[in-house]
A and B are shown apart, each in its own frame.
Chain A
């Protein structure tokens, strides 16, 4: 395993070096300066902005939404956010093509809203099923003062 890791790492460094070398070799085409700005901007956009937005939303949810409902809300928001991220540039570029290219001709905003509605519906349905299930389980459980272990059952979700 140790040898395999060293081998894998060495191959990785070689491939990484090969790519970087070619980027600088073909600088006329790759414009390393501008590419560098793009690479830095990607880090800033992701680590400096997008991730903190997610942290902020997570903090707000943890603060104001009770645990069980929050689990489903978080799940729905994760799926919705990921789909929106891919759909956003399509919405922005909608209609900016030559006729006949059959390019970007759909109504992506309406389609995204359909997808978001479907995600919300599925998430809401899953939540309701869970609530009903737990209600049924709670009914089957003996009352707290009759539990033999003496400990109170973990009823709160």
Chain B
């Protein structure tokens, strides 16, 4: 791993001067050390690993295999996994910045590449760094529903995650001896040279400054504050300190935030039209008017609603069991049911449900003791356990009972 002149002399002809050019930046190492990099890097690696796994779980909600429907239990499964995804993703931001700070001088090692293999290794680090920065950056903007780009967030966030994890595993494989050395190096080690700019001058720059322990405490505090002040959108006990909480379920109408309003979906008139009918298709199709629908026997169920953007809220729902209508239309417990919204278009106007989620699903008319508002999906919406929020289709108008 050490830079030796061997590789240069072997190549015969030198592309770059052996010594660094005068304009090339030189850093005193200061407090930067393998001890810090290995520790912050380990924390970041764990956060990225958790983020990747929970991200795949969420992706499965969007594209499940037909033979393996998403289970209905535990009802809070998606609430936990996606809450974890967003919190670890947010915490990754301070960890990533601290980690990159600790290795910044390595960007300017001379010569920039000692061999083809070394050049490829450095290139893979560039991929890891830029993919990680973009991945956590667009993740943050997504929970703010801010999309200053043309590409599909879902596709890029998903495929770039594989690039991040792949280049991370490669990076760990290459650096494993250094990681072990760094973890064995005690945090209490004293620093000698000061943190400084391009030309550290021990004569004029006083020694001292932050220690390794100090850097770890300060970086850890940054990550901890981000976690504490954002987690309240999913973890109710942390709601009082959610100073940087993006969503605020307790301020939302009926206690549940709304991702897509009736106006955004273009259903403000359609949802309250007197001509509203719920059409149920299948072997024995039928239609229900609003009055008939509301006269059906209702059940009450407590189910959380959890969004891909990381917020979630527990709620009480009253509604008709979806299975009742499915059976009446000639379907059974093995049916695959497709629900369609009044929404004229949009990627989530239809959703499919089957397996144990179908058995537990409600067609909700009431939320937390009150009739659904138009923004919450009036006159009728789906709610099922362990199901990503966006697939709890609102403003239902058609139910297709398939085989």
Enumerate chain A interface residues (CB-CB to B < 8 A): 1, 5-9, 11-20, 22-23, 26, 29-31, 34-35, 38-40, 42-43, 45-47, 50-51, 54-56, 58-59, 61-63, 66-68, 70-72, 74-76, 78-79, 81-83, 85-87, 89-90, 93, 96-106, 108, 111-112, 114-115, 119, 157
Contacts and interface: CB of A to CB of B under 8 A. Distances in A.
B159 interface: yes
A129 B271 CA distance: 64
Contact of A90 (B124, B144, B167, B173): B144
B195 interface: yes
A66 B210 CA distance: 11
Contacts of A76: 218
Contacts of A23: 156, 159-160, 163
A86 B249 contact: no
A100 B134 contact: no
Interface of B: 30, 90, 93-94, 97-98, 100-101, 104, 107, 124, 126-127, 129-131, 133-134, 137-138, 140-141, 144-146, 149-152, 155-156, 159-174, 176, 194-197, 204-211, 214-215, 217-219, 221-223, 225-226, 229-230, 242-249, 251-253, 257-259, 261, 263-264, 375
Given A66-B208, A75-B210, A102 B244 contact: no
B134 A39 contact: yes
A61 B214 CA distance: 16
Contacts of A8: 169-170, 172-173, 176
A54 B197 CA distance: 10
A19 B166 contact: yes
A30 B244 contact: no
Contacts of B159: 19, 22-23, 26, 30
A90 B244 contact: yes
Contact of B206 (A67, A79, A119): A67
B170 A83 contact: no
A97 B252 contact: no
Contact of A70 (B166, B208, B243): B208
Given A101-B258, A102-B253, 9 more contacts: A5-B174, A16-B127, A31-B151, A51-B101, A78-B219, A100-B252, A100-B261, A103-B247, A111-B229
Contact of A56 (B134, B165, B197): B197
B208 A46 contact: no
Contacts of A89: 140-141, 144, 146
Given A8-B172, A8-B173, A108-B244, A58 B155 contact: no
B176 A5 contact: yes
B209 A100 contact: no
A106 B250 CA distance: 12
19 contacts: A9-B173, A11-B169, A30-B156, A39-B130, A50-B97, A55-B197, A70-B210, A71-B211, A71-B214, A74-B210, A79-B218, A79-B222, A83-B225, A83-B226, A97-B145, A98-B263, A100-B261, A111-B243, A115-B229
A70 B126 CA distance: 32
B167 A102 contact: no
Contacts of A19: 159-166
A93 B249 CA distance: 18
A42 B137 contact: yes
A62 B133 contact: no
Contacts of A111: 229, 243-244
B214 A104 contact: no
A15 B169 contact: yes
A29 B151 contact: yes
Given A42-B130, A75-B210, A85-B94, A15 B162 contact: yes
A46 B196 contact: no
A58 B210 CA distance: 10
B155 A100 contact: no
B104 A103 contact: no
A31 B230 CA distance: 31
B162 A16 contact: yes
B171 A86 contact: no
Given A42-B134, A102-B258, A12 B209 contact: no
Given A46-B133, A68-B208, A93 B100 contact: no
A31 B150 contact: yes
A30 B152 contact: yes
Contacts of A90: 144, 244, 246
B33 to A, nearest CB: 15
B222 A82 contact: yes
Nearest to A7: B173
Contacts of A74: 195, 209-210, 214, 218
